[in-house]
Amino acid sequence: MSAPESVYYLSGYQTRGISGHTYLAVPADSPPVFSTRGTDLGNLLLIQGITPIGGFVDFEDHDDPLQVFVDLISRNRISTRRVGIEKNAFFLTVQSYEALISAFAESVFIDVLKIVEELRLIKSPEEIACHREAGRIIVKATRAGIDAVQLGQTDGSVVIAVTGALVEAGS
Does the domain at 4-121 match CATH 3.40.350.10? Answer given as yes
Q: What are the phi and psi torsion angles at 83 (to 5°)?
A: -120, 120
Cα→Cα distances 76→42, 70, 71, 90, Å: 21, 10, 9, 27
Which residues lie across from 51 on neighbouring strands? 33
DSSP letters of 27-54?
Answer: -SSS--EEE-BGGGHHHHHTSTT-B-TT
The model's pTM = 0.70
**Domain definitions of the chain by residue range:** 4-121, 125-168
Q: How confident is the model at residue 48, as a pLDDT?
A: 65
What pLDDT tens digit does each residue of the chain (171 aa) get?
Answer: 888 888 888 888 877 766 667 888 888 888 888 887 777 777 777 776 665 555 544 444 567 888 888 888 888 888 889 999 998 888 888 888 999 999 999 999 999 988 888 988 999 999 999 999 999 999 999 999 999 999 999 999 999 999 999 999 999
What is the predicted pLDDT for the residue at 73? 86
The CA distances from residue 124 to 13, 130, 153, in Å, are 19, 10, 42
Q: Contact at 8 Å (CB) between 108 and 81?
A: yes
Handedness of CA 54, 59, 60, 64 (dihedral sign): positive
Instruction: Show Cβ contacts of residue 32 under 8 Å, excluding neighbours closer than 6 positions.
Output: 10, 11, 24, 25, 26, 49, 50, 51
